[in-house]
Structure 1
Amino acid sequence: MTNVLVVKANNRPDGVSTSMYNTFIEEAAKVEGLNLSTFDVFEENLEYFGQELFNAFGKAQAGEELTTREARSLEAFNKSREALTAADLVVFAFPLWNMTIPAALQSFIDYTYGAGYSFKYNEQGQLVSLMTDKKYIVLNARGGIYSTPETAPMDMSANYINAVIGGVYGMEKVGEVIIEGHASSQNDAPAIIAAGLEQVKQLAQGLAVKA
């Protein structure tokens, strides 16, 4: 059984990446041997990563009472890492918003991006990835075009996830579907979205081989 964690990072019902998530879940549910679970970063309402977490570590070790925010931060830390640890394959379904990823997804990254957990430094000070046994998939939607040589550096959503999950955590990317241009080319939007969702279907259907 392959444990598939789908990180859903769009709370807009009509969002294109929401449709990508829904399509993936529907198709992947038909594939035998997959144990699907969703970590909805908006539903989880993760406390923002910050000093409250480090306060919580110290207080918990000393047996002291935590504030509400400290307790929420520690809970977010534990839930995020427990979900990621249990996964064999992680699917990120997210939009590009304002040139980057949604803040709620950033919180999930912040809680799982940690020395000794997702990476470490060796004696020479070089970064060593600690999640090379896991795989990941990117499902991303962006209304403009960010795949040209001129615009690609401006995308800080898919590029960022690949840099962190693939580059730092060391997971192997086994699939990527990006739907783009549906806002800038509205006349073609239905066809653009339909073609992208078909790619999502095919990707999900192939999980029996890839996962």
Structure 2
Amino acid sequence: MKNILMVKANDRPAAESISSRMFETFFEEVKDNANLNVNVYDIYKEDMPYIGQDLFGAFGKMAANEELNEAEQRVIAANQKARDAFSEADVVVIAFPLWNLTIPAKLQTFIDYIFASGYAFKYDETGKMIALLPDKKIILLNARGGVYSTIETQAMEMSVNYLRNVFVGIFQNEIIDEIIIEGHNKAPEQAETIIQEGLEKVRQSAKRL
């Protein structure tokens, strides 16, 4: 059985959010598939403190067998839960919007939890980076109301580009599908066609699992 981790990175209802509709469309196709074990990780329902001194201090205390305070226990638990979910997955599906040219802060925190030396990668004796979880397959489902795929605008887009760099560039994972719905706000007269064509691609992606 294939383990699917679906990361939901938008708390807006599907009626108001295209990336939420992409998530729901994909989920509906896979939830009853007997060959798939589907785990949903809704980052807006998870307790996910930002990484900082509480986490780094906790790591130091744990190495020294010292007791953690409440804040340190909280962030360690959140960090471990994200890593466990990612570790168990064969395929990771991330549905996320472009907000202010980048990803939501909550999704950044999820990435921060798993983007760690000793977990996702390590350095050998020559300083070369070695991926530790290279067999994961990634599916990116992104929505953006403007158009960021042109030569003039693509350098501004730091959501899909960022996740490509993380999962392919650092983790050495394979992106097996990347579906982007864009331009529906810029061209409202074409919005329904743009959205429906994109959602059909989402359905087909889910069926291929």
TM bucket, shorter chain = over 0.9
51-60 or 18-27: bigger deviation: 51-60
> Deviation of residue 67 (structure 1)?
3.0
Q: Does 1:138 align with 2:154?
A: no
Q: Does 1:7 align with 2:12?
A: no
> 2:61 maps to which residue?
59
Provide the rounded CA distance (Å) in 2 between the counterparts of 1:57 and 1:132: 25
Q: In structure 2, do the counterparts of structure 1 residues 204 and 167 end up closer, same or farther at CA, with 3 Å as the change threshold?
A: same
Residue 45 of structure 2 aligns to a residue whose secondary structure is: helix
Q: In structure 2, do the counterparts of structure 1 residues 124 and 60 end up closer, same or farther at CA, with 3 Å as the change threshold?
A: closer
> Deviation of residue 62 (structure 1)?
4.6
> 1:102 maps to which residue?
104
> Deviation of residue 61 (structure 1)?
4.5
Residue 138 of structure 2 aligns to a residue whose secondary structure is: strand
Query: In the alignment, is the contact (CA less than 8 A) between 1:23 and 1:201 conserved in 2?
Result: yes
Q: TM-score, normalised by structure 2?
A: 0.94
Residue 149 of structure 2 aligns to a residue whose secondary structure is: coil
Query: In the alignment, is the contact (CA less than 8 A) between 1:4 and 1:36 conserved in 2?
Result: yes
118-127 or 58-67: bigger deviation: 58-67
Residue 160 of structure 1 aligns to a residue whose secondary structure is: helix
Q: Does 1:179 align with 2:185?
A: no
124-133 or 14-23: bigger deviation: 124-133
Amino acid at match of 2:3: N
Residue 188 of structure 1 aligns to a residue whose secondary structure is: helix
Provide the rounded CA distance (Å) in 1 between the counterparts of 2:102 and 2:38: 27
> Deviation of residue 64 (structure 1)?
4.2
Alignment of 1:147-186 (within 5 A): 147-186=149-188
| Unpaired runs of at least 5, structure 2 | none
RMSD: 1.3
Residue 152 of structure 2 aligns to a residue whose secondary structure is: coil
Query: In the alignment, is the contact (CA less than 8 A) between 1:31 and 1:205 conserved in 2?
Result: no
> Deviation of residue 59 (structure 1)?
3.0
Amino acid at match of 2:136: K
Q: In structure 2, do the counterparts of structure 1 residues 146 and 87 end up closer, same or farther at CA, with 3 Å as the change threshold?
A: same
101-110 or 119-128: bigger deviation: 119-128
Amino acid at match of 1:21: F
Count of aligned positions: 207
Q: In structure 2, do the counterparts of structure 1 residues 15 and 45 end up closer, same or farther at CA, with 3 Å as the change threshold?
A: farther
> 1:84 maps to which residue?
86
Amino acid at match of 1:116: G
> 1:17 maps to which residue?
19
Provide the rounded CA distance (Å) in 1 between the counterparts of 2:138 and 2:190: 30
Provide the rounded CA distance (Å) in 2 between the counterparts of 1:126 and 1:3: 30
> Deviation of residue 172 (structure 1)?
1.0
Alignment of 1:62-77 (within 5 A): 62-77=64-79
Amino acid at match of 1:34: L
| Unpaired runs of at least 5, structure 1 | none
Query: In the alignment, is the contact (CA less than 8 A) between 1:146 and 1:152 conserved in 2?
Result: yes
